Amino acid sequence: MARHKEKIFGVLAQFESSQDIFRACEKVRDAGYTRWDAHTPFPVHGLDAAMGLKPSRLPWIVLVAALTGASCALLLQWWTSAVDYPLIIAGKPLFSWQAFVPVTFEVAVLFGALGALLGMLGLNRLPQHYHPVFQSKAFDRASDDKFFISIEAQDPRFDTSKTADMLRSVGATHVEMLEE
């Protein structure tokens, strides 16, 4: 029977405080790593800048969804009142856009909210029911009081020993290899 060799996913490093992980993220970013993430029990102000993350595309997704919703609402109201079932009431024009503003606004908000939800799920690649960091017993504290950085083996700069040594040098209290 042939031995099955586990494929390495990457390295996971544990830090004790938000200041420690903030400094470590700056060092990892400056070292040129591109396939890595920080895991914290609460939002750390400025961590996205320390990681070198680009601004999110989510606001553009929400804008497009809201404009689509407003356009669809206005088009539907125009179609029903001016084309499909035209009624002239009290001399009002068939397309009286002022009466359509509330519905147009509400549908724009609805589509914007749905765009935000679906965009967030898509950009975050959710739902993700399994991730290799879940194998680590230490990672259970990521939602309690510990801070973690995971660097993937797919990163072009990844080297098993050099990456682990670099994380120890920036203040990691625990470093472990993760398998797929």
Contacts of 4 (CB under 8 A, 6+ apart): none
Tell if the pTM clears 0.75, that is, is over it. yes
| C-beta of residue 132 within 8 angstroms of C-beta of residue 6 | no
Which residue segments constitute the domains of the chain, with CATH numbers given? Answer: 8-54+130-179 (3.30.70), 58-123 (no CATH)
What gap in Å lies between CA 39 and CA 25, rounded to an integer? 11
Structure tokens, 159 = 């080297």
Of 5-9, 60-64, 72-76, 83-87, the poorest mean pLDDT is in 5-9
The reported pLDDT for the residue numbered 2 is 46
pLDDT in tens, 89-120: 888 888 889 999 999 999 999 999 999 999 99
Q: Is the pLDDT of residue 81 over 60?
A: yes
Tell me what the mean pLDDT of segment 22-30 comes to: 97
Element (H, E) at 13: strand 8-15
Tell me what the mean pLDDT of segment 124-152 comes to: 93
Q: Is the pLDDT of residue 88 over 90?
A: no
| C-beta of residue 117 within 8 angstroms of C-beta of residue 59 | no
| C-beta of residue 139 within 8 angstroms of C-beta of residue 157 | no
